[in-house]
Copies of this chain bind each other. A is one copy, B any other.
Amino acid sequence: MCRIAAYLGEPIGLSKFLIDPPHSLHVQGWAPRELKYARLNADGYGFAWYGDDEQPAVYVNPGPIWSDPNLPHLARTLVSDLWIASVRSATEGNPVNHANTQPFADQEFLFDHNGLIDDFHSQVRPRLVADLDPMYLPSIRGNTESEYLFAALRQILADDPELPMEDALAELMERTERWVDGCRSLLTIAVSDGERLYAVRHAMGDDCPTLYYTTDDEEFPNAQLMASERMTHSEFWRMVPEHHILILDPDEPPELLSL
């Protein structure tokens, strides 16, 4: 379990997104309010953005967000119009290291999964891997279910380059339902292709973890955000409905699609 957040809008410094808000991810690291299966998110953190070459860039650290001596410097100098970030609470059996710390990226997409799948390795992974082209295996560096989900999503996208991301996510959820075959699954996912932000709020066998979004937060002019917990006191944060996909587009109003 983790807390995630994402930003899309006019370029802002990382600090304004990740650290400064009254209930930022930095705060959610040691004082989350709506975290169900953990008390803290001190098992690493990461953030991601897109470079001028339009490829994703990721910074992850397996320690608590508050003790990284590099963060103040990076937060002060990095600027982007798109951010995805998360603070991690490791689940049993998944070690605390760089490879297991999100967000994940390939050459094109950013991906961050907040949740868990019970009995993943012994029950679910064999079914997922049976459907996965082995060419995706070398890119999986850690042992979280999240990294396998990202690989599966990339395959869906690669198999049909015309497929819209929202349809790929819906397809991923459908396949996941088959793979988990009744195992409890918490599936809050944030994804980007560098232009839009997508989120899934979904779960099987349990309630969905919280996920909010806003397009009118006074502290973030001309921006749209999503986050596991409301980052500011603004009234304009709304809950993404359960079992829905959220699409944030720079030029369109937010779109909600039922799974």
Contacts and interface: CB of A to CB of B under 8 A. Distances in A.
B77 A57 contact: yes
Contacts of A96: 63, 67
A96 B141 CA distance: 10
Interface string A61-87: 111100101100110110100000000
Nearest to A61: B70
A121 interface: yes
Most B CB within 10 A of own CB, among A31, A60, A137? A137
Contact of A76 (B53, B76, B120, B122): B53
A258 interface: no
A253 interface: no
Interface string A101-143: 0000000000000000000111101100100001101101111
Contacts of A69: 60, 95, 98-99
Given A40-B40, A64-B42, A99-B95, A134 B143 contact: no
Nearest to A70: B59
A55 B75 CA distance: 13
22 contacts: A30-B39, A31-B39, A40-B42, A43-B64, A43-B67, A49-B77, A58-B73, A59-B74, A60-B69, A60-B70, A61-B70, A62-B97, A63-B96, A69-B95, A69-B98, A69-B99, A94-B141, A95-B98, A121-B138, A122-B135, A125-B134, A126-B129
Give the top 9 A-B pairs by smallest Cβ distance, nearest first.
Answer: A97-B97, A121-B138, A51-B77, A67-B96, A121-B137, A57-B73, A57-B77, A126-B134, A69-B98
